[in-house]
Amino acid sequence: MTQQSGPVALRRTAPPARLSLFLAALLALLPLLLVLTAAPGARAADGDPTVSLSKKEAGKGGEITVRGSGWRSDALLMLLICGQSTPERGVIGGTNSCANADGRAVTTDKKGAFSKKLPVAEPPKPCPCVVHVATVTGEQALVDAVFTVAGHPTEELPREAADGRLAVLASTRLEGDSSLLTWFGAPPARRLVFTVGNLGTGPVKDPVFEIGTAHGVYAPQWEERQWRGTVAPGGKAQIKLPVELSAGAHGDYQVSLRYGDKVLAEQPWGVGRPWGVTLFWVLLCLIVPAALFRIGMAVVDKVRPRPAGTAAARHAHRTTRSRARGGATEPKPPTSTNSTTSTNSTTSTNSTTAALPWFTPDSAPSENRPRPTTKGQA
């Protein structure tokens, strides 16, 4: 067989080269195709959260199913039936207008959806009513769905709050000092002082503010505070709201003020460490072991056995020491006429009862007394 050369050979080798180029281009475009296919899901997750109800109207004692989508994944939500509320105006009066005792909590799934059964209860305020769904932690998000509680009274919404608009006119500050109890772990407390002005055309009566306290990277925990009073259109008022932390709190905190859906002001708060608690535990770790050691030593001293005669020896030792301090000398024992009896008595007498000194000053040797002569000495 003869080998062909020229254009025919080139045509036979061209198809494999084109195939390799096609595969390389396909592999290069594969990541782009994956991104394009995942983009619609991401856009859906970034959309506004929605809420749907299984029933638009139900009476007290019934039950409805609340479904939602578009929320943040793994977010904790609060479900409440609130009165004196509309989706356009929101919940007037805060959660004081809601049936808090019959509320429910739910956590969204990985896709930001949820489904939860909610019992129907009458809110403390008259209808119009809504099912209020809001996040508990993290970034704030809320949705109100129109709902009617059958048999519950209905009234018109007040107009004053709709025309009023509050704004902070001056910088906020925290007033108050820590007491001695705070040094021992009591909850730190302050008053948030700020001045608001009504920029609207209608008066604002008994506004409800929210105070949030955040520590470190954690989201603020919001608590409602209602101020009793009315701010006239174009007027201003100084408001003082209490702020309290948990027991033993210390470190850098951030206090936020919110009215409606808008954060009006933020104020840092540095809380000192409760050193009294540390001092208490240090003293407790020192005093308790020392007390237990002393009690144990006292018990051991009471129960340990003692040898015979120890008490009599101690009593004799104390008597001797007391006499030595007083300068008194023990009397000499009486001399017996019978030498044999005296010798035996002296031998059997304890050395502790012998009279001291064994010689009198008259019988003691003296340097002035002449030395005795010996036999044979001149």
* DSSP 8-state code for residue 116: E
Per-residue pLDDT tens over the stretch 65-87: 999 999 999 999 999 999 999 99
Q: What is the pLDDT of residue 360?
A: 54
Q: Cα–Cα distance between 132 and 142 in angstroms, integer?
A: 7
CA-CA distances (angstroms) from residue 74 to 70, 77, 110, 114?
12, 9, 6, 10
Query: What tokens appear for 86 in the block?
Result: 């509309």
pLDDT at position 167, please? 87
Q: What is the pLDDT of residue 295?
A: 92
Burial class (CB in 10 A: 0-12, 13-18, 19+), 62: middle
- What residues form DSSP beta bridges with 263? 258
Radius of gyration of the chain (CA): 49
Q: What is the pLDDT of residue 1?
A: 40
The pLDDT of residue 27 is: 52
Per-residue pLDDT at 171: 83
The tens-digit pLDDT sequence of the chain (378 residues) is: 444 444 434 344 444 555 555 555 555 555 444 433 333 333 333 468 999 999 999 999 999 999 999 999 999 999 999 999 999 888 887 888 899 999 999 999 999 999 999 999 999 999 999 999 999 877 778 899 999 999 999 998 876 544 678 888 888 899 988 778 888 888 889 999 999 998 887 888 888 899 999 887 777 888 889 899 998 888 899 999 999 988 888 888 989 999 887 888 888 988 888 888 888 888 889 888 889 999 999 898 888 887 765 566 666 667 777 676 665 455 555 554 444 444 444 444 444 444 555 555 555 555 555 565 555 554
Q: Is 291 helix (H, G, I), strand (E, B) or coil?
A: helix
Helices first, then strands: H and E counts in the chain: 6, 20
DSSP state letters, 21-32 = HHHHHHHHHHHH
| Matching residue, tokens 């955040």 | 214
How far the first Cα of the chain sits from its last, in Å, is 167
108 CB burial (10 A radius; 0-12, 13-18, 19+): buried
Residue 45 · residue 68 · CB < 8 Å:
no
pLDDT in tens, 189-244: 999 999 999 888 788 888 889 999 988 777 788 888 989 999 888 889 999 999 99
